[in-house]
Structure 1
Amino acid sequence: MSIKDILPSKLGFGAAPLGNMFRDIPQQEALATVQAAWDDGIRYFDNAPFYGAGLAELRMGEALAGKPRGEYVISTKVGRVILDEIEEVSPAGRGEVFKHGRPNKVVNDYSSDATLRSIEDSLKRLRTDHIEIAFVHDLAQDFWGDQWLGKFEEARTGAFKVLDRLRDEGVIKGWGLGVNRVEPIELLLELDEPRPDVFLLAGRYTLLDHEHALQRVMPMVAERGLGIVVGGPYSSGALVGGPNFDYAPITPAIRDKVAHIKSIADRFGVSMKAAGLQFSLANPAVAAVIPGASQPSRIAEDRAALTETVSPDFWNELREAGLVSPAAPLPGIS
């Protein structure tokens, strides 16, 4: 079965904001946002233990409790185990991004035992007896430097084999990597074994940053009949006027690029959300996009952006201005 057959639609829900990403989000606001997604018809929810040290999973579990389990798909991640022990926020742990999350200690562990424990813990937090997709999380974080290859090897002999077995036994429907760098995906696809089904690529196939993924990852994924879930389609909010890009304060160069795109979008009457979502989905390797949301109103905005009519002339002008790669597939343009 293709991963595109497992995912119920092109638009999913990214739960990172539920873990108090960048700000302290009231509990009721978080629960109302998940309910708004459900009411909108969204049936694919992505999560991770790392998001607020389990907070996002706890909130999603509460929000979806009582919903018919057969009507929605959950993906979550392995590679981080959440302990009862308390830790201080540090750049090598949760960092500034989730400093408002739970204070529980987060341990990086891609071994077989940790993978099974991570899934078991996630099931409890999510209040469910199964997940459909498991992603191996953050195998190439910048703070690891070249040591990420050691993490990859740990996962190759641990998490990858466990998830391959669970998929073949029918416990999960698919697995892959959930990363914000393309190198681990390239490396895994060069191996004969194991056999991933799908990848979650955050921030690397967006309107603001897509060149590297276009060179190898997207063609490799498409050739193998797999799929990409695009996370962070608004580039940590930078595309829609936010102060962050790629989980850090926006740079002047990115701010200028956003302003240039927006000036063209305004002339064509195109919303920046529509430009972002529709660009990512135009690539045939992309199975779904999962924008994050922490307010109920954002859900309706995302849905409207997905169906908004955008003139081909808008995309052509972006290409002529050098704002998108000449090799990038664009909506409605051959």
Structure 2
Amino acid sequence: MTINIPGRMGFGGAPLGNMFRAIPDDEARATVADAWDAGIRYFDTAPMYGAGLSELRLGEALQAYPREDFLLSTKVGRLVLDELEEGAHDFGEKGGLFEFGRPNRIVYDYSRDGALRAIEDSLGRLRTDRLDYVWIHDPAKDFHGEAWRDVLTTALEGAAVALGELRDQGVIKGWGLGVNRVEPCEIALERSDPDGFLLAGRYSLLDHEDALKRLMPAALDRGVGIIVGGPFNSGILAGGEHYEYQKATPEVQARVDRLKALAWHHAVDLRAAALQFSLAHPAVSAVIPGASRPGRAASNLHLAAMPIPGSFWAALRAEGLVSADAPLPAKVEEVL
């Protein structure tokens, strides 16, 4: 598999951009240090996260560690300008997700030159001389109707070409899309040669049917690695109220309540089930839950290794809450 993440657990840097709340700088530094102490060695971020705030904070915190000891990824497709935004950022369905971030204006640019400029800017904010993986960020999400198809074409003919050249030159280890839709990944596999995908929220305990049927088999066939972002679906599977960056609808909440009821009946921590479900698929290279407080990374590693009885997984299948075709943790599969 072309995406290789030590320990298969990484650090999602979106919360460091003040996602949902304003995080004090010292708390952000402590959160990264805690992740490192827990053994995390892969860190992902993006210019969009707080208009560069996440990159700035992550870059500062990672100065304490040898660069050769960890993997680092960020994203292209958006440029952070020195110009300040008048009013709230327009992130489509993501709305005020980073209302507490920096006020700098963010513009879309999926061209070749835009990707190269984005990388140069990110290197400066991250205080590093190299990136390991680079993802093309949301080329199919924030655009109305079918306009996303044209945007994706621009990205595959522009940014993807630049990233492929950087990979072939050995400047980066690999590239792909960072998205929360399955279809763009399928199109990228047809038209280009990505090394992997950072797929947010689409291979989770709550939502996995499309990815399971359409993307995961193709990824395995091509040797393309899937990094699962948002394994808790914006927090709804970890006791929060957000799903897809918004307050969960009654329909989503009802499904989560069914999951919670079965977890309670089998004495299972639903967060552990969410992480282990995503990690069980052989196409998955890693899972990168976000963290905004010290202790979360160590907790996630503990949850990923926590024993879960086969009776719980069997009940999920019987209730139709997970697909009968979805791989389950290996030890469970042996007894079901």
Normalised by the length of structure 1, the TM-score is 0.96
1:144: how far off? 3.0
The residue matched to 2:144 in structure 1 has which SS? Answer: helix
For the 8 Å contact 2:91–2:142, the answer to whether it is kept is no
For the 8 Å contact 1:134–1:175, the answer to whether it is kept is yes
Alignment partner, residue 130 of structure 1: 130
The residue matched to 2:333 in structure 1 has which SS? Answer: coil
1:145: how far off? 2.5
Q: In 2, distance between residues paired with 1:95 and 1:143? A: 13
Q: In 1, distance between residues paired with 2:158 and 2:251? A: 40
Alignment partner, residue 157 of structure 1: 157
Alignment partner, residue 214 of structure 2: 216
The residue matched to 1:154 in structure 2 has which SS? Answer: helix
Alignment partner, residue 49 of structure 1: 47
Alignment partner, residue 91 of structure 1: 90
Letter in 1 for 2:193: R
The residue matched to 1:105 in structure 2 has which SS? Answer: strand
Q: In 2, distance between residues paired with 1:16 and 1:92? A: 14
Alignment partner, residue 178 of structure 1: 178
Q: After superposition, where does 1:310-329 map in structure 2 within 5 Å?
A: 310-329=308-327
Letter in 2 for 1:256: A
1:142: how far off? 4.4
Runs of at least 5 residues in structure 1 that lack an aligned partner in the other structure: none
Letter in 1 for 2:208: H
* Identical amino acids, percent of aligned pairs: 55
1:311: how far off? 1.0
Alignment partner, residue 59 of structure 1: 57
Q: Pick one of 229, 236, 245 that aligns with 2:227.
A: 229
Letter in 1 for 2:223: G
Letter in 2 for 1:104: N
Letter in 1 for 2:11: F
Aligned length: 330
The CA deviation string for residues 137-183 of structure 1, in whole angstroms up to 9 with x for no partner, is 00111443211111111112110110110000000000000001111
Alignment partner, residue 111 of structure 1: 111
Return structure 1 stretches of 4+ with deviation > 3 angstroms.
90-94
Alignment partner, residue 100 of structure 2: 100
Q: Pick one of 258, 264, 270 that aligns with 1:260.
A: 258
Runs of at least 5 residues in structure 2 that lack an aligned partner in the other structure: none
The residue matched to 1:145 in structure 2 has which SS? Answer: coil
The CA deviation string for residues 224-250 of structure 1, in whole angstroms up to 9 with x for no partner, is 111100000000000112110011111
Q: In 2, distance between residues paired with 1:33 and 1:90? A: 26
For the 8 Å contact 1:53–1:104, the answer to whether it is kept is yes
Q: After superposition, where does 1:5-44 map in structure 2 within 5 Å?
A: 6-44=4-42
The CA deviation string for residues 168-203 of structure 1, in whole angstroms up to 9 with x for no partner, is 000000000000111110111122xx3110100001
1:26: how far off? 1.1
1:39: how far off? 0.4
Q: After superposition, where does 1:271-310 map in structure 2 within 5 Å?
A: 271-310=269-308
1:275: how far off? 0.5
Alignment partner, residue 121 of structure 1: 121
Q: In 2, distance between residues paired with 1:263 and 1:285? A: 29
1:212: how far off? 1.0
- State yes or no: 1:188 paired with 2:167: no
For the 8 Å contact 1:92–1:143, the answer to whether it is kept is no
The residue matched to 1:113 in structure 2 has which SS? Answer: helix
1:95: how far off? 2.7
1:92: how far off? 3.9
Q: In 2, distance between residues paired with 1:201 and 1:86? A: 30
Alignment partner, residue 3 of structure 1: 2
Of the structure 1 ranges 46-55 and 88-97, higher mean CA displacement relative to structure 2 is found in 88-97
Q: In 2, distance between residues paired with 1:139 and 1:49? A: 14
Normalised by the length of structure 2, the TM-score is 0.96
